[in-house]
Amino acid sequence: MADRDENNENMVIVDDDGEFDDDEDGEETSTAPNVSVAVRIQEFPQECFKDTAIRKGAFFCEACREEISVKRSTIINHINTHKHLSGKEKLHQKAKRERDLAEVLRAYDEENHPIGETLSMNTRVFRLKVVTAFMKAGIAINKINCFRSILEESAYKLTDRTNMAQLIPVVHQEEKKNTLEELTGREISIVFDGTTRLGEALVIIVRFLDSEWKIQQRLLRFLLLAKSLAGEEVAREIISVLAR
């Protein structure tokens, strides 16, 4: 579509997107598409776009965690990149992971009926993910309050550190379940050792090869003891671990 400026003989070309192209002198007349974010999101329903961008004339791509212009050519180029396709796959894995966590919480509820079990499952799954992340990073749970404002900024509400700590047994159950699934059907080696350096302790570790032939190891047990164990007692602990 072509429009003529009454005060200028140059032609202004507007394409089907409502985006202004260069005039005859090669000067760009506008860089902002005349299309709303909502319209663009509706045009790409299979993509993980949200109208949460800060910048005007852009939307947020959840797969890539970045803002994208509403210009159609930019969108098409973006959704065909390896980064975007990989990000979408990670989102699918995230959704599956959250469904698994929801099942873990439901099973835990049936046995323990913890505080907060009536909250929405999305909120509880988010809290469980936060506790898991803190434990994997080696950050004390009582530090959660220091991160609470930023963690809640674009997600669900957390709770006091005391209540968050009550999710630790759920994390433990999930870790045991995941470890069992990893080890099922595999050849494994058991490593155990003790130390008296800072107190009597016994550690039992399992090592195995994953599907990519990479060596993996998992901590199965860490015991603080009143005294060192004899050979039969160590064997009993190892059998106890394997039986679980």
pLDDT at 233 over 60: yes
Residue 29 tokens read as 């007349």
Is the residue at 95 inside a domain? no
- Say if residues 60 and 69 touch (Cβ distance below 8 Å): no
Is the residue at 94 inside a domain? no
pTM for the full model? Answer: 0.67
Residue 34: its pLDDT value, please?
76
> Whole domain around residue 195: which residue ranges?
185-243
- Say if residues 206 and 190 touch (Cβ distance below 8 Å): yes
Quick one: 123 and 175 in the same domain? yes
- Say if residues 194 and 201 touch (Cβ distance below 8 Å): yes
Q: Tell me the per-residue pLDDT of 189-219, one tens digit each, with 9 for 90 and over.
A: 999 887 766 678 889 999 999 888 999 999 9
> Which of 52-61, 71-80, 85-94, 146-155 shows the lowest per-residue confidence on average (mean pLDDT)?
52-61
**Helix, strand, coil tally for the chain in percent (to 5):** 45, 20, 35
Pairing of strands 49-50, 58-61: antiparallel
Quick one: 204 and 174 in the same domain? no
Helical residues (DSSP H) of the chain, grouped into ranges: 37-43, 72-79, 82-112, 121-137, 144-152, 161-165, 168-183, 231-243
CA distance 51 to 42: 11
CA distance 93 to 6: 56
Cβ of 158: how many Cβ atoms within 10 Å? 20
Is the residue at 61 inside a domain? yes
- Say if residues 208 and 182 touch (Cβ distance below 8 Å): yes
- Say if residues 46 and 40 touch (Cβ distance below 8 Å): no
Residue 23's pLDDT band (boundaries 50, 70, 90)?
A: very low
Q: Tell me the per-residue pLDDT of 110-137, one tens digit each, with 9 for 90 and over.
A: 888 888 889 999 999 999 999 999 999 9
215 forms bridges with which residues in the sheet? Answer: 209
Identity of residue 151? L
List, in order, residues 6 or more apart from 8 with CB less than 8 Å away.
none
Quick one: 189 and 159 in the same domain? no
Query: 220-227 long-range contacts, Cβ below 8 Å, gap at least 24?
Result: 220/179, 224/199, 224/200, 225/194, 225/200, 225/201, 226/200, 227/200
Is the residue at 196 inside a domain? yes
Quick one: 130 and 176 in the same domain? yes
Number of domains in the chain: 3
Quick one: 124 and 165 in the same domain? yes
Residue 17 tokens read as 């997107």
Residue 113: its pLDDT value, please?
86
Is the residue at 26 inside a domain? no
Instruction: Give me the mean pLDDT over the 24-38 stretch.
Output: 60
